[in-house]
Amino acid sequence: MKNKIQISVIMGVFNPADKNRFFGAIDSIIRQSFQDWELILYDDGSEEPYRRVIAEAANLDTRIRLFGGTHNRGLAYALNECIRHARGTYIARMDDDDISRADRLERQYRYLETHPQYQWTGSNAELIDSQGVWGYQTMPEIPKARDFLLNSPYIHPSVMIRKECLTQHGGYSTSKEILQCEDYELFMRLYGNGCRGYNIQEALLQYWEDFASYRKRTYRRRIREMKLRRKGFQMLGILDRTTVYYVLKPLLVGAVPAPVHHYIRKKTKRKQRKM
């Protein structure tokens, strides 16, 4: 392949809510200790004021490549388009409001280069909002099938994956039945097909999570996730009488008022210790 590089960082963007956070996310890639990368932005039908902001961001570094469409097709479609244009051996996910630690790409690249038994690697994360770091998310080091019961055992924007793994298994599903659950579905499908991932036990990412994040979790989304859980757990061989609660979890959690859920989560994650 012409102009082969090592890492393609992919980011689907739609009407970025905060220009400073968006530019901060991109700057955290530009400042990486590992410099053999390209950043692929896909503008998923943003409105005109935001399109100018995205175009401005694409000019921050010559390694940033901008693609886009005129209609909003969803994150899964945008990421598949990024993958289609990617020239890297590895694909690193990134969201438009998160911050990658300066050695993130290097740490993940070195790990995958020396551990061929794993197809991807994620990491732990610091949780941030407008006030700064408020919590810490620890992920299982070597997730097993039952680790999918509670939630996805990988923080999506912390993941670096072998491109061939994604292309061989069809990339992200664009089915409307799993809208906003595309990463959960992807990792269960890959695991079910014999692929394995590893979580580096350090916070290589600062993950944006504030109260507004909870408002996006609509009842319809929770119904979709419940159906996905049932199908995914069945595929992984972990669906039985003892795991019914985990299938229903999105609806049960959805019954808790968002302010209460947010308070409980902040209190819980503040107690987690960095390793």
pLDDT of 274 reads 44
Average pLDDT over residues 12-17: 96
Contact 97, 17 (CB under 8 A): yes
User: How does pLDDT run across 98-124, given as a tens digit for each residue?
Assistant: 999 999 999 999 999 999 999 999 999
Rg for the chain, CA atoms, rounded: 18
Q: What one-letter code names the amino acid at 215?
A: R
Mark residue 132 as left, alpha or beta (left: phi above 0; alpha: psi -120 to 50; beta: remaining): left
pLDDT of 272 reads 63
Contact 101, 204 (CB under 8 A): yes
Locate tokens 């049960």: which residue? Answer: 252
Neighbours of 275 (CB within 10 A): 10
The angle subtended at Cα 219 by Cα 215 and Cα 225, nearest 5°, is: 105
pLDDT greater than 60 at residue 7: yes
Listed by start position, the domains of the chain span 1-97, 99-157+172-275
Q: Determine which of 11-25, 122-136, 248-262 has the lowest per-residue pLDDT on average.
A: 248-262
pLDDT of 4 reads 82
Average pLDDT over residues 60-83: 98
State the maximum Cα–Cα separation within the chain, in Å, rounded to a whole number: 54
d(CA 122, CA 156): 8
Q: Which residues contact 198 (CB under 8 A, 6 or more apart)?
A: 111, 115, 118, 120, 121, 122, 141, 142
For CA atoms 60, 61, 62, 68, the dihedral sign is negative
The crossing angle, in degrees rounded to 10, of helices 182-192 and 219-236 is: 0
> What CATH class does 1-97 carry?
alpha beta
pLDDT of 268 reads 74
**Residue 1: which pLDDT band, with cuts at 50, 70 and 90?**
very low
User: How does pLDDT run across 125-174, given as a tens digit for each residue?
Assistant: 999 999 999 999 999 999 999 999 999 999 999 999 999 999 999 999 99
Alpha helices in 61-129 (DSSP H): 75-85, 104-114
**Residue 255: which pLDDT band, with cuts at 50, 70 and 90?**
confident
Q: Which residues contact 165 (CB under 8 A, 6 or more apart)?
A: 119, 120, 190, 195
User: How does pLDDT run across 189-230, given as a tens digit for each residue?
Assistant: 999 999 999 999 999 999 999 867 766 678 889 999 999 999
pLDDT greater than 70 at residue 263: no
pLDDT greater than 70 at residue 2: no
Average pLDDT over residues 240-255: 92
Q: Which residues contact 106 (CB under 8 A, 6 or more apart)?
A: 32, 33, 34
Compute the mean pLDDT over every residue in the chain, rounded to the nearest whole number: 93
d(CA 92, CA 248): 31
Neighbours of 110 (CB within 10 A): 13
pLDDT greater than 70 at residue 261: no
d(CA 155, CA 122): 7
